[in-house]
Structure 1
Amino acid sequence: MRGDSAIAEWERYCQVPLLVASLLYLAAYTVHVLVPEVSPGWHEFWLTITFGTWAAFIIDYAVRLGLSPSRWVYARKHWLDLLVVLLPLLRPLRMVQVYAAAQLRRPHPRLSLEGQVMALTLLTALLLGYSGSLAVYRVEQGAPGASILTFGDAVWWACVTLSTTGYGDVVPVTWRGRVLAVLMMAVGVALIGAVVGVFSSWLVQSFREKTQEARRRSED
C-alpha cells in the first residue's frame, strides 16, 4: 500500500510535466517529418526536444517501477507504459493516460462512465491517427512503387486503416510501413470494439431502466 501511495503521489506530481512532454514530442516529430529542411540550429533544437522528452518518459517509468513493491507485477500490469517508452508511434498516447488519470482523481467526474470511455477512445484515435500518419509518411516517401506520396495520402491511409475499412487505394510498400499498418489495424479493431461495447451497454441499460419504470407505473 505504501508503494501504491508513493506511485500515486509521483503520478500527481508528474501529470502536467508529462502532458507537456507529450505535446513537445509530437511537435518535434511533426517538424522532423514535415519540415526536414530546417536550419542546423533548429534541427539541433528539435532533436534535443525529441531525446529530452524521451528521457522524461524513461525516467517516469523507471521511478514508478522502482517505487512499486513488486516490479515484475507492476511491469506485467502496466505493459502499455513500457510500449509507450519503447515505440515512438505510441508516445503521444501518454496524453490519453494523463487525461484518464485526471478523470479518475475527480470526486465527481464531468462525464459518465460511458462518456469517459467514448472520450478516451476518440482522443486515442485522433492521436494515434495523426502520429501514425507522420510515421508512415516518413518511411514511405521516396520508396520505389510507393502510393503514399503526400502527408494527405498518409492521413487518408490512417483513417482507412484505423476504421478497418481497407479501401486499398493507398498502401504501404516498405516492411516498416506494413508493420505500422498491422499495429494500426490491431488498435483500430480494439477501438471499434470498445465503442460498440460501450454503446451496446448503454442501450441495454437504457432499455432496462425504461422497462423498470414502465413496470412501476403499471403496478401503481
Structure 2
Amino acid sequence: MTLERWQNITEWPMMLAAVLYLAVYSWQVLDPETLPDRTAETVLVGIWLLFALHYVVSLALAPARLSWFLRHLHELVIVALPMLRPLRLLRLLTTLSVLHRVAGVALRGRVVIYISGASVLLVYIAALAMYDTERDHPDALITTFWDALWWAVVSITTVGYGDLYPVTATGRVIAIALMIYGIALLGVVTATLASWLIQQVAEEGDQNAAATEAHVHRLQEEIAELRELLVELPERPRHPEQPESPAR
C-alpha cells in the first residue's frame, strides 16, 4: 500500500476520531459529573492510540522517511500533545468544496479560511485546557469556562488586559503557546492585507496602462486615416508668378 492510498483511506476516520476526542474532552471538562471518568479516559486513550498508529504507519509507508518526518513535525506534535488532536479537524477546511468555491483558487483565500478555522479551534481548545488546569488551584483567577474563554481571546489577540492570568505551570505553558500563535497570526493577517493592497494597486495600474495603450492605438489609427485623406486630396494649382513692376 502506498502512503497516498493510506492517507485517502484514513482521512475521514481520523477526522471523526478528532471530533469524538473534542466532544469527549469537552464533556469531561465542562460537565464531569455526568460522564464517568473511567469511560472518558478509555475513549481518550483509545483515540490517542489510533492517532499514534496512524502516524507510525504513515512514517513507515513514506518513500523518504526522514524528509516526511521533517515535513510533518506537526503530526508528531498532535500525537504527543492530547489537547492538539482536534486540530486535525482543520483538514475539513481543505476538503469541503463549498469553502473552496468561496476561497477561490487564490492562495490568499485558502490561507484566510485555514487561519480563521485554526484560530477558532485553538481559542476553544486553549480555553478548555486552561479551565481544566486552573479551576482546582486555590489561588486560581480562572475559575469558570467563560473566564477561560475570555482569557483565550485576549491572549490570542495579544491584547493582554491582565485581569485574568494562569497561576499553574501547565497553565503558563498553554499561555505561552497561545501567545506565540497570536503573534504569528498577526503576522499572517498583516501579510495577507499587504498582499491584497498590492494586488489592488497592481490591478488599477494595469487598467490605467491598458486604457493608455488603447488611446495611443486610437490616435495612431486617426493619424493614419488623416494621412490617407491628405494623399487622396487633389493638388491645388499654383498661381503664376506676377511680373516684376518696371523700375522707375
Do these two structures clear the TM 0.5 threshold for a shared fold by scoring above it?
A: yes
Q: Which ranges of structure 1 fall in alignment gaps of 5 or more residues?
A: none
Q: Which ranges of structure 2 fall in alignment gaps of 5 or more residues?
A: 215-248
Which segment is superposed worse, 188-197 or 123-132?
188-197
* Partner residue in 2 for 1:34: 30
Does residue 1:148 correspond to 2:148, yes or no?
A: no
Map 1:101-120 → 2, pairs under 5 A:
102=95, 109-110=100-101, 111-112=103-104, 113-120=107-114
What is the deviation of 1:153?
A: 0.2
Is the Cα–Cα contact under 8 Å of residues 65 and 74 in structure 1 kept in the other structure? yes
Aligned residue among 156, 160, 173 for 2:167: 173
Per the alignment, in what secondary structure is the counterpart of residue 37 of structure 1? helix
By relative contact order (CA 8 Å, sep 6+), the higher-ranking structure is 1
Map 1:1-220 → 2, pairs under 5 A:
6-38=2-34, 40=36, 43-100=37-94, 102=95, 109-110=100-101, 111-112=103-104, 113-220=107-214
What is the deviation of 1:39?
A: 5.3
What is the deviation of 1:48?
A: 2.5
Once the two structures are superposed, residues 62-121 of structure 1 have per-residue CA deviations (whole angstroms, 9 ceiling, x without a partner) of: 111000122222111110110011012211111113433x26xx7x94223222111111
Q: Which runs of 4+ in 1 moved over 4 A?
A: none
Once the two structures are superposed, residues 9-55 of structure 1 have per-residue CA deviations (whole angstroms, 9 ceiling, x without a partner) of: 22211111111111100011111111121254xx3333232122212
Structure number with greater Rg is 2
Amino acid at match of 1:189: I
Q: How many residue pairs get matched?
A: 210
CA distance in 2, matches of 1:31, 1:188: 26
CA distance in 2, matches of 1:130, 1:200: 28
Once the two structures are superposed, residues 186-214 of structure 1 have per-residue CA deviations (whole angstroms, 9 ceiling, x without a partner) of: 11111221122112112111210111111
Once the two structures are superposed, residues 134-185 of structure 1 have per-residue CA deviations (whole angstroms, 9 ceiling, x without a partner) of: 1000110121321101100000000011111111000000111001000001
